[in-house]
Amino acid sequence: MGNIRLTLQVAATFVGTVVGAGFATGREIVQFFTQYGAWGTNGIVVSGILFIFAGSKLMITAQNIGARSYKDLNVFLFGPVFGAVMNGLVLFVLFGSSAVMLSGAGAVFHEQLGWPWQAGLFLTTVLCFLALLNGLKGVMAVNAFVVPVMIVFTLFAAGVQWTASHDNALTPPFPFHSGRLSWLISALSYASFNLFAAQAVLVPLGHDIRDKQAIKNGGRLGGLLLMVLLLVSHWTLSGHPDTVFFQIPMAEVIRTFGMGIHLLFLAVIFGEIFTTLIGNIYGVKRYLAQRFSIREPVLTALLLGLIYPISQFGYGPLLSNLYPLFGYLSLVFLLFVLLKKSGP
């Protein structure tokens, strides 16, 4: 029973770390998959397979080599010199991704509820600080609550749309580029970027949970759940091509279900953004704690204080410009994770 519980916790933490602002709002799914139409479905399958196998291997490798943070993992994968370069890149990616998450939270409050954007940013920052006071246990606890709710709600939304429309999920009304490999490059960059950023949480997870079978099974289950959620969200968005012009296209789809469902979905979106944000900050904090003697609450406050100004650039521009760049830079990392032995 303990093994099953740990497996589910690992899977939920994996899913919650990857599912952030771009995924939850639908912007990320449109950019990497839905714009390619039917080929986007193939891309989701490719990304899902990579999540299943590379995600679990990443955690097993971290456990085998005793990696306490992504710093140790990258030194193992690339050696001391290039490992240091990769660690600097991870820090850059996590800061950029965290800014996207925080800005996405502000967009939820502003675009969907009419609140001041800065109020959403401030509230999210405070909640993030409070959650991180409990370390990895806090990250896992938030994910254990948010992820099951997100899965149920995503499937419910898809079910409602299926009842209302019988559009073919595999051939959505988006133009796609037959004979080109853009969809494949996009799928590879999506998986590589998310795994590259997720190592901030997955490495400590692999280190701290000593049950290797639970780590392996949890990684595979988490990867499978991510693929299913991507497919369901992709199909849902495909039936509403006009929503791609919104910063939060998924919320525009859900709005048609009525105010009550719409408000519930906004809470789910916020929870998904929040899980990734605290995961990113926790990973950076754990890395810096190995290098500097700063009390954890102070370090957390400093990190949030640095990310806050970056988030002012806006959710849409940050996601559109940073995520594809991060994806291409992360392809090398994905290749090394897949090809290198997972340690002794």
251 CB-near residues (< 8 Å, 6+ apart): 25, 26, 108, 111, 112, 262, 265, 266, 269
Mean pLDDT of the chain: 80
Query: What pLDDT is attached to residue 295?
Result: 84
Q: Higher confidence at residue 150 or residue 186?
A: 186
Q: Is the pLDDT of residue 106 over 50?
A: yes
pLDDT mean over 163-184: 56
Class of residue 282 by CB neighbours under 10 A (exposed 0-12, middle 13-18, buried 19+): buried
Q: Model pTM?
A: 0.77
Q: Higher confidence at residue 229 or residue 342?
A: 229
Please, where are the H alpha helices in the chain?
A: 2-18, 21-25, 27-32, 38-65, 70-107, 113, 117-132, 135-164, 182-208, 212-238, 249-255, 259-289, 296-310, 315-339
Q: Is the pLDDT of residue 311 over 60?
A: yes
Of 15, 335, 331, residue with least CA distance to 190: 331
CATH architecture, domain defined by 2-336: Up-down Bundle (1.20)
pLDDT mean over 207-233: 90
Alpha-carbon span 215 to 211, nearest angstrom: 6
Q: Which residue has the tokens 């957390």?
A: 300
Q: How confident is the model at residue 341 (pLDDT cuts 50, 70, 90)?
A: confident
Q: Is the pLDDT of residue 69 over 60?
A: yes
